[in-house]
Chain A
Amino acid sequence: MPNTNIEEFAKILVQKVRDIAIQNCDRRLRPDATNIIAERWKHTVREGNVESVARVLIPDIVDATLTQFCRAIDQELLRLLYTASNGENANLPVDGLGELAGWYIGSDGWRAKYSKERFVDDFSDLK
């Protein structure tokens, strides 16, 4: 694409969202990973077939990717404006206060509020 600005966006999207999300997920596969998601993956792989493994991994990986997308905005790597249906613009890095990733992945965040598909609340034990 000839538009250099869009190319810049594409590069950040790929390197700071896609690639980082993959790296984050790869870390869950390391032998020293003991967090709750890594344990869930290991447990599933040990006891499940391909379909059941995929059913667990798909939402986790999608969530990891979208969380990273939000984080890239929080970190002001992606300085995005959103034009709402009323025509007003939201400056996502500024108006989001750097909290978008938390709003996405958190217990009572956007997944819980808006998703119609499965997800695991990994924070329900925290008080």
Chain B
Amino acid sequence: MSNSTLASPAPRAVKPPPPPGQPGAREQAPQSADGMKIAQTALQSLGISTRSPYGPFTGPPEYALAVSLIFTNATNQTIIVGTPPDHVLSTSILWNSLVHDKRFTQIPMSKAAPGDIITGSGWQQGADGYTGIVVDHGRIVSNSGKGVQDNSSLVEIQRRHPGMVFFRYTGVPGHRSYPLANAGFNPDEARVPAGQPGGGQWTSGMAPSTAVVSGGNPRTTAQEAPAAKEANPQPGKPTTERAAEASKLSELAQTYLEKAKEEDQAAALAVATSRMGDEYLRHKAAADSARSIAEELQRRAYILENGTEGNYRRLMLQQYGVNNPELNKIAAYYAEKFHDQATLNWLKLQHPAERPKIDTNGLAMMAFFPEGEAGEEASVGGGTEEESAFEKANKVEGADTSENDTATLKPYNEGSGHHVPAKSAFKGDSVYNPSTAPAIPNSELDRLNIDHDLVTGAQQRLYRSYAQIGKPLTWDAVQSIETKAIVKGGMSRAAAEATVSKAINALKAAGVKQPTRIPWGGK
């Protein structure tokens, strides 16, 4: 599971690029000491989990947050001027800031060097709001569902996300420095020691008693040190701690709304000056992202301010909706805030690694949560049956994506849903059975909020295009088309690739040799 990567590995040194003329050398722009330090810090951060101090907003992994924290640790600067490092939660806003920040210079991909920041605004075709840091040998370190990982490369990025932009931190002489103290951030802030629960995590901005590792597993030091918690002296009213946090969230929401307003104005200006292309889209994406974050912050502030121990769950469900796939993470956040140990216990049951038994508190809470979620999870644990091909396939691939991001496949007859790949690609194959073929079950479409209609329409479009080239359908083409289709439906590219790969592996393992026809392609 995702929290297995928390232990901090030993720091690794950045190898300097070979000198010109040496094997492996390539033309690179002069590298600054800052760049090497950023790369070094990135490598030292491998395996460390990051989290937003206010929980997930834009869905894991939080690329921008990880890059911001690494950059600040390395340079003692905030990556977005005037924004605390742990408040950088939007890739599009980060991108927009870097474009206008004179401390950074845009670098072509061919000249990327260790320490350069790679990012996409999130609106470009093929650049899905990703950001990371180039280290050595063309590798890229970025956040993932498993914390900071060395999980990509320039070659891969060039192939998958040609729209990405590289920024090099050069600093500007005389440029105003933004000391960390002013940003409410301490570079020497202690991290949870390796080997302990939450080991290696930055503690910046985190509530003192909670660490939610990637994947949403709540841990409470309350369980380890119950005396650390104080009972609310006035049950039914917010504690001063909650009221203060609500106020802080409201202020932060206001900052994001102002940022959204600025971006709206910039977008309007782009329209007024007939710059309807990239510039308009960039500002609009940044505005939408900021507005979305502000809305989330306002929701949280509202519940902290108006919720009590007795009614916060109802408020939470009203605010977020009972079918929200992030509900467990949201619940973890509030359960800690409201010192609700029963909910925390129940949430622990959602994590297979920590599901030793179902206690009565857990059962009581399951009754509170929407039907299906609890039931499905409860049926998972403890079995020792032999793994099916699906279970095996579900475990492979997707190493750089969170298990929560990828879809768990099931035979179609067990969960209905969306066939991956399209079943008509195997018409006439004696081995292929559409009833037992891999599918993203309806429960997973719902959990991941994948729009089935968009996936289907995208499949039709892409397979028809492929049919026009007149070649037989290959597994590689299936992988590519099905991935694009699921991305269209709302899944991240990495998760979609891993999901499709799992499905193809399952089919191959079942003995399906190759597709027999091109779906929507005629015969």
Is A48 among interface residues, defined by CB-CB distance under 8 A?
no
Instruction: Encode contact with A along B461-501: 1 for CB under 8 Å, 0 otherwise.
Output: 11011000000000000000000100011100000000000
Is A32 among interface residues, defined by CB-CB distance under 8 A?
yes
Among B171-222, those with CB < 8 Å from A are none
Chain B contacts to A: CB under 8 angstroms: 59, 125, 288, 292, 295-296, 320-321, 323-326, 416, 419, 422-424, 427, 434, 446, 449, 451-454, 456-462, 464-465, 484, 488-490, 519-520
Is A9 among interface residues, defined by CB-CB distance under 8 A?
no
Asked if residues B324 and A102 are in contact (CB atoms below 8 Å), the reply is: no
Q: Which of B125, B434, B461 has the most CB of A within 10 A?
A: B461
> In chain A, what residue has the closest Cβ to B454?
A35
Instruction: Encode contact with B along A24-58: 1 for CB under 8 Å, 0 otherwise.
Output: 10111011111111110001000000000000000
Q: Among B295, B423, B458, B460, which residue has its beta carbon within 8 angstroms of that of A31?
A: B295
Bound form: Cα–Cα A37–B458 in Å: 13
Task: Please give the distance in Å from A70's CB to the nearest CB on chain B.
Answer: 9
A-B contact pairs, 22 of them (CB 8 A): A26-B323, A27-B323, A30-B324, A32-B324, A35-B490, A37-B453, A38-B490, A43-B288, A75-B416, A98-B423, A98-B424, A101-B456, A102-B519, A105-B453, A106-B464, A106-B520, A108-B464, A109-B460, A122-B454, A123-B457, A123-B461, A126-B488
Q: Which residues of B contact A126 (CB under 8 A)?
A: 458, 461-462, 465, 484, 488
Instruction: Encode contact with B along A62-94: 1 for CB under 8 Å, 0 otherwise.
Output: 011001100100010000000000000000000
Asked if residues A107 and B454 are in contact (CB atoms below 8 Å), the reply is: no
Asked if residues B320 and A31 are in contact (CB atoms below 8 Å), the reply is: yes
Asked if residues B451 and A71 are in contact (CB atoms below 8 Å), the reply is: no
Q: Which residues of B contact A28 (CB under 8 A)?
A: 451
Task: Please give the distance in Å from B422's CB to the nearest CB on chain A.
Answer: 8
6 smallest beta-carbon distances between A and B, as pairs: A106-B460, A102-B460, A35-B490, A105-B457, A123-B461, A97-B424
Q: Which of B125, B320, B427, B520 has the most CB of A within 10 A?
A: B520
Task: Please give the distance in Å from A69's CB to the nearest CB on chain B.
Answer: 12
- Beyond A26-B323, A67-B456, A123-B454: 9 further Cβ-contacts under 8 Å? A35-B488, A37-B451, A38-B451, A38-B490, A101-B456, A102-B422, A105-B460, A122-B488, A126-B458
Q: Which of B296, B419, B434, B451 has the most CB of A within 10 A?
A: B451
Bound form: Cα–Cα A102–B490 in Å: 17
Q: Give chain B's interface secondary structure class.
A: helix
Q: Which residues of A contact B456 (CB under 8 A)?
A: 67, 71, 101-102, 105-106
Asked if residues B460 and A99 are in contact (CB atoms below 8 Å), the reply is: yes
Bound form: Cα–Cα A34–B458 in Å: 16
Q: Which residues of B contact A122 (CB under 8 A)?
A: 454, 457, 488
Bound form: Cα–Cα A98–B488 in Å: 20
Q: Among B125, B449, B460, which residue has its beta carbon within 8 angstroms of that of A33?
A: B449
Q: Which residues of A contact B323 (CB under 8 A)?
A: 26-27, 30
Q: Among B59, B434, B461, which residue has its beta carbon within 8 angstroms of that of A32?
A: B59
Chain A contacts to B: CB under 8 angstroms: 23-24, 26-28, 30-39, 43, 63-64, 67-68, 71, 75, 97-99, 101-103, 105-109, 122-123, 125-127
> In chain A, what residue has the closest Cβ to B484?
A126
Q: Which residues of A contact B484 (CB under 8 A)?
A: 126
Task: Please give the distance in Å from A61's CB to the nearest CB on chain B.
Answer: 11
Q: Which residues of A contact B451 (CB under 8 A)?
A: 24, 27-28, 33, 35, 37-38
Bound form: Cα–Cα A123–B454 in Å: 8
Task: Please give the distance in Å from B16's CB to the nearest CB on chain A.
Answer: 40
> In chain B, what residue has the closest Cβ to A64?
B453
Asked if residues A33 and B490 are in contact (CB atoms below 8 Å), the reply is: yes
> In chain B, what residue has the closest Cβ to A125?
B125
Q: Which of B296, B422, B457, B459 has the most CB of A within 10 A?
A: B457
Given contacts A30-B449, A32-B449, A67-B456, contact A123 B324 (CB under 8 A): no
> In chain B, what residue has the closest Cβ to A27?
B449
Q: Which residues of A contact B326 (CB under 8 A)?
A: 32
Asked if residues B424 and A31 are in contact (CB atoms below 8 Å), the reply is: no
Bound form: Cα–Cα A106–B295 in Å: 34
Bound form: Cα–Cα A98–B435 in Å: 13
Q: Which residues of B contact A32 (CB under 8 A)?
A: 59, 324-326, 449
Q: Which residues of B contact A36 (CB under 8 A)?
A: 454, 488
Asked if residues B453 and A106 are in contact (CB atoms below 8 Å), the reply is: no
Bound form: Cα–Cα A47–B65 in Å: 30
Q: Which residues of A contact B320 (CB under 8 A)?
A: 31
Bound form: Cα–Cα A26–B476 in Å: 34
Task: Please give the distance in Å from B227's CB to the nearest CB on chain A.
Answer: 37
Task: Please give the distance in Å from B297's CB to the nearest CB on chain A.
Answer: 12
Q: Which of B125, B323, B434, B452 has the most CB of A within 10 A?
A: B452
Task: Please give the distance in Å from A108's CB to the nearest CB on chain B.
Answer: 7
Bound form: Cα–Cα A127–B59 in Å: 27
Task: Please give the distance in Å from A40's CB to the nearest CB on chain B.
Answer: 11
> In chain A, what residue has the closest Cβ to B489?
A35
Given contacts A64-B453, A71-B456, A106-B464, contact A31 B324 (CB under 8 A): yes
Q: Which residues of B contact A38 (CB under 8 A)?
A: 451, 490
Q: Which of A37, A43, A68, A101 has the most CB of B within 10 A?
A: A101
Q: Which residues of B contact A31 (CB under 8 A)?
A: 292, 295-296, 320-321, 324
